[in-house]
Structure 1
Amino acid sequence: MASPIDPTIEPSKEAYNHGMALDTENKRVQCCYCGKIVPGFNRLQQHLGGIRGNITECPDVPVEVKDFFRNRLMSVKVGHLVKEIGELDNPNPPLKRICTPNAKVNGVKSPRSVSSQNGNIIAGTGSSLSKPTCYYKRRLTSQNGNCDKDGVDSDSAMVKRSICRFFLENGIDFGAISSVSFNSMMNNFFKGDEIKRCIPTVPELRGWMFDDELHEIEKYVNNVRLSWAQTGCSVLLDGWTGHLGNSLINVIVDCPEGPIYLRSADVSPSTTGDNDNALQVLLEEVLEEVGIQNVVQIVAHTTSERLEEISKQLIEKHRSLFWTVSATHCMSLILDKIAMIDSIKLTLVKAKTITKFIYSRVEVLKLLKKYISSPDLVIPSKIKSAASFLTLENILDEKSNLKLMFSSSDWLSSSWSSSVEGELVANLISDSSFWGGVNLAVKSSIPLVKAISLLSGDEKTNMGFIYETMDQVKETICEEFGSKESQYTAIWNIIDEIWNTILHSPLHAAGYFLNPRLHYTEDFFSDTEVAGGLLITIVRMAADQCTQDLITRQLDVYGGCKGDFKIGTDNNSQKSLSPVKWWSRFGDHCPELQKLAVRVLSQTCNGAEVYGLRRHIAEKLLSSKKNTTEYKQLHKQAYLRYNLKLKQSKMGAKFDIISYEVDPSEDWIVDESYREVGSSRGVPSKVEPKCEV
């Protein structure tokens, strides 16, 4: 932390409080704020004061430090100019000029240049210097907080930047800035001339503001990249089928410093077979760009024979690399399989009969809103397989309200109560066997839904917790069924099937073993699966046999809680610190094991889906022709918008499994058996319902 400014001291001496000499002769000095290395303390003063020309300005210097050095250096320059050209009418001449001797501004010729005695060109004397005809156009940047190029104060300019970032993060067309509704909304916040200063124009959004945001996000990405060498990183794949039927993929690189978007690609196999290995080529390029020495694992978004074959080839070629499948995707597969159990499948059909009836009839829907306590009966989710069970849970919570609604005078007096469909739904609501089925389905599924939320929450580096999470899911389901094995065995078998064949990785076992929060507990248990996974991880991640032997010996120190490890548990630091921070603080006496533990525990078990990147941006990019101006601009937009979105997650934006946007085509909503045609009064349809219960 640099010292505060002392205004009474000379800038040449004050500079020593804001930089660190890297050699005895002070020829290489490192800035305390941004880390830039400059040639000496004189250049450091210019760097801190933002005096352009010989050195770039510091992007992170505090305003008071910048103003101190800038004002002092400017006064020195002015003094030099006064000595050279005599007394000036204007005490603050421009420090740089970009005009030519014959240039015109607003139709007025620039002042005549004259030669000094030593032959240098100098500006003419008199009033011409007090009103220079050309000057730098200054604009607000994210680092300095100055006025923009039109002289807008910093507060108004920051409002402009906030508006620009809002448009970029949400993929809103810049042209919307001119819409009547947007300006009407802004008028409620700003009055008179203030609104003109605060709302950016379309040229500003597309021009210098876009460039500044791009420059800032590039700095952020570069800082994240610097951490990969220490913590390692995970390459996350997010693939889907585009509207043209092609196979598209986004690549994200994830680490504790935050996820970053790397690139998008079309990896569709061609009809001629020339492009069958497009995905493998892409992954090889990504590994080269990121650095194979930095990549701990590739996290796939799904499973397929094609991906399985590619994973085998990559692991065979790159010994230290692991291939895993997103934990969220695997838990979604488990939920899908649970939904196919006969009794639960029947319960889902019955529940959908209720919701489709209600949501397809305006009068009944209004009645529902009057009786239930939650905003909606149907709960949409970003994880499709979780939506059904979240809705079932909500229906169960609203059980008493639904019973009250379908026995109320409001319902009995409505035209729907006597319809075939209405009687069917009312009977379901009063059927105890239906509610028993709902209760069973909720007990079987909600622990998994909560696990998805947990693994996608604040602790994104969850490699050390996936083992414990899955065990807790199974134990919770067991408890929900009163430990009656016959009732929960089928659910456990589904979980074990996905875990053993798709989800489990040696990295997960190593993460469990190396997590001090779990290792130093009474119920820690290392079975053959854990021990084997840890051994595989050591063999593949350690550089050589000597390093493997060192790690094996150091494991005895860790397991016996000796040395600094004991200090780290005596004060319960393993409970208050993240596993990575704990190892960084207490693992120095076992450096090889410390390095392995930090790299394993710094990884995620989840895939790219938890970041919710909008795929239409990549589709637009990949549908444009390459090597064109349009493609280059779209690439910049995708890079900026995606990384702004990902930066939000680093800054605290949480993943919420609930969507809050009900899809009108959702099969819990649309009743294909009913058409409300020519029924302004809500007369029931005579069409019999297709659903049989």
Structure 2
Amino acid sequence: MLKLMEDVIDLVGEENVVQVVTDNGPQYKAAGQVLMERWPHIFWTLCAAHCIDLMLMDIGKIRRVQQTVETAQRITRYIYNHNWVLSLMRKYAGGEILRPGVTRFATNFIALDSILEKRGALRQMFASSEWYDSRYSYAGTEGSKIEDLVTRQPFWQWATTIVKAIKPLYEVLRAVDSEIYPQMGFLYHMMVKAKDQIMEADPAHGRSYINIIEQWWGTQMGTELHLAAYYLNPRFQYNIDGIGMDETLLDALRNVIYKMEADPEKAALCLEESKLFREGSYSFGQRAAVVSKHNMNPAERWVHFGGSARNLKRIAIWIFSQSVSSSGCESNWSTFALVHSKQRNRLTQKLLNDLVYVHYNLRLRLKCIQEEVELKYTDPIYGSFTADDDDPLLGWLVGQQQEPEFDEPGSPP
């Protein structure tokens, strides 16, 4: 892994590399540390999407969250493993109760939210004459127990509270996992805002979620690069009190400048120029600069209005051009898994490589065409399955060693 990263850096030129983003596997951590020792100006950071996914995984281990998810899975497994019940559900819900094509991120949240959207349809189904006339509703059967879960209020109350509390973190995941524009200048602010919204949504239990978020941010995810980007973002610098003289942010900014600028004199100039930016002086105070602080990409804003701080401008543009996630690069592995599933594992290596190459590049071309036609946001959390066995939605459809029940013609009344 280290050799691969070193080869790529040598290929593109070390002077053109600001950051290397990986997931938090031990082999990546070891490689990242070595890279920063060899090239002191390069930052190694963890993939924000992967870290947030792991936050959600830890939140899912909280007892009340785990019990609610397991109850929801019990409902969906029952419905999807009984053909007649599934048909009845589709009649009342007008489709599926689970969103298709869920990727590896936030699976439980997406599924739970989807079930909440179909709550009324599920209640109508279990209150219908068709249900009561069927053998599935008989007392003592699993169907009667599922009916009881769906028609009672406690499960829905817990599910609603959990979804509302987790949604702010999920929104951050959506942002960092998208490829619309780099999120380096926004990640820190989004995390702070998400924590505030979580406490507002669930004052009684929000602290347990936030403890998990802060643990991941403090030990794994947060870096001085994120803090410096927050400080240099005009949208926040000029709208949130206290940022300009915050010691933690200033320390982060200084350390990032020292790391990215090897010349001490130029580094000192960057620090002097930061005062002009902080005070909104000279080019930063132009009318167009003030008007555009809310809606212009921070990198573009520095391009147009950073002329009074030429040295700091160069560093700011580098920072705001950085991604916070490596998940976009994982599409190639998803394509490999799609082609090389158990049903297609007899392909020769050359043919397999050719199929992956063609399929992946077709997806890139289609994406470019779509962007040319319309700039429409697509939720990156909803993607295509990788391989059947890896589908994260599978746990919501079947349990271990569980086979679906295909009813005989004319069943079940």
2:295 corresponds to which letter in structure 1?
A: S
Task: Please give the root-mean-square deviation of Cα atoms over the aligned residues, in Å.
Answer: 2.8
How far is the alpha carbon of 1:286 from its aligned partner?
0.5
1:319 paired to 2:30 = no
Paired residues of 2:307 and 2:313 also in contact (CA < 8 A): yes
Candidates 398, 416, 428, aligned match of 2:118: 398
Q: CA deviation at 1:294?
A: 0.6
Question: What secondary structure sits across from 2:182 in the alignment?
Answer: coil
TM, length-normalised to structure 2: 0.86
Is 1:507 aligned to 2:225, yes or no?
yes
1:286 pairs with 2:8: yes
Q: Normalized per residue, which structure has more strand? A: 1
Matched, 1:412 2:412: no
1:389 aligned residue (104, 109, 117): 109
- TM-score normalised according to structure 1 size: 0.53
Gaps of 5+ in 2: 341-348
Q: Deviations over 1:313-333 (max 9, x none)?
A: 110110110111111101100
* Aligned position for 1:676: 405
Partner of 1:562: 281
Query: Radius of gyration: which is bigger?
Result: 1
Q: CA deviation at 1:434?
A: 1.2
Is 1:451 equivalent to 2:163 in the alignment?
A: no
Structure 2 Cα separation of the partners of residues 328 and 367 of structure 1: 37
Shift of 1:515: 1.0
Higher RCO, 1 vs 2 (CA within 8 Å, ≥6 residues apart) = 2
Displacement of 1:467 in angstroms is 0.8
1:653-687 residue CA offsets vs partner (Å, 9 max, x unmatched): 84531237695970111144555377444459xxx
Cα gap change, 1:530/1:650 in structure 2, threshold over 3 Å: closer, same or farther? farther
Give the aligned partner of residue 657 of structure 1. 381
Structure 1: stretches of 5+ with no match in the other structure: 1-278, 622-629, 685-693
1:250-289, aligned counterparts within 5 Å? 279-289=1-11
In structure 2, how many angstroms separate the alpha carbons of the residues matched to 1:280 and 1:469? 32
Instruction: Report sequence identity in percent.
Output: 28
Aligned-partner residue type, residue 659 of structure 1: G
Counterpart code for 2:115: I
Aligned to 1:491: 209
Q: C-alpha separation between the residues in 1 aligned to 2:264 and 2:55?
A: 39
1:530 match: secondary structure: helix
Residues 568, 457 of structure 1: CA spacing in aligned structure 2 closer, same or farther, 3 A cutoff? farther
Matched pairs, number: 392
Matched-pair contact (CA < 8 Å) for 1:311–1:323: yes
Within 5 A, what are the aligned runs for 1:303-314? 303-314=24-35
Distance 1:334 1:289 in 2: 35
Letter in structure 1 aligned against 2:382: I
Query: What is the aligned partner in structure 1 of residue 343 from structure 2?
Result: none
CA-CA distance at 1:639 after TM superposition: 5.7
Among candidates 78, 82, 92, match of residue 361 of structure 1: 82
Answer whether contact 2:284 2:290 (CA < 8 A) is retained.
no
1:635 offset after TM fit, Å?
A: 6.8
* Cross-structure match for 1:602: 321
Question: Which one of 537, 544, 547 corresponds to residue 266 of structure 2?
Answer: 547
* Paired residue type of 1:575: H
Q: Distance in 2 between matches of 1:607 and 1:382?
A: 18
Residues 469/649 of structure 1: CA separation in 2 closer, same or farther (3 Å cut): farther
SS in 2 for 1:464: coil
Instruction: Look up the SS of the partner of 1:299 in the other structure.
Output: strand
Give yes or no for contact 2:112–2:163 (8 Å, CA) kept in 1: yes
Question: Which sits farther off after the overlay, 517-526 or 581-590?
Answer: 517-526
Q: Any conservation in 1 of the 2:55–2:212 contact (CA below 8 Å)?
A: yes
Shift in Å at residue 480 of structure 1? 1.1
Using a 3 Å threshold, how does the CA distance of structure 1 residues 454 and 501 change in structure 2: closer, same or farther? same
More helix by share: 2
Work out the CA distance in 2 between the residues paired with 1:398 and 1:379. Answer: 11
Measure, in 2, the Cα distance between the counterparts of 1:426 and 1:549: 69
Q: Name the structure 1 match of 2:394.
A: 666
- For the Cα contact (< 8 Å) 1:402–1:429, is it kept in 2? yes
User: CA contact under 8 A between 1:611 and 1:649: conserved in structure 2?
Assistant: no
Q: 2:147 aligns with which of 419, 426, 429?
A: 426
Does 550-559 or 442-451 show the bigger shift? 442-451
**1:181-226 CA-partner distances (Å, limit 9, x unpaired):** xxxxxxxxxxxxxxxxxxxxxxxxxxxxxxxxxxxxxxxxxxxxxx
Q: 1:542 to 1:343 in 2, by over 3 A?
A: same
Would the aligned equivalents of 2:183 and 2:322 in 1 still touch at CA under 8 Å?
A: yes
Residue 488 of structure 1 deviates from its aligned partner by 0.8
Contact 1:610 1:655 in 2 (8 A): no
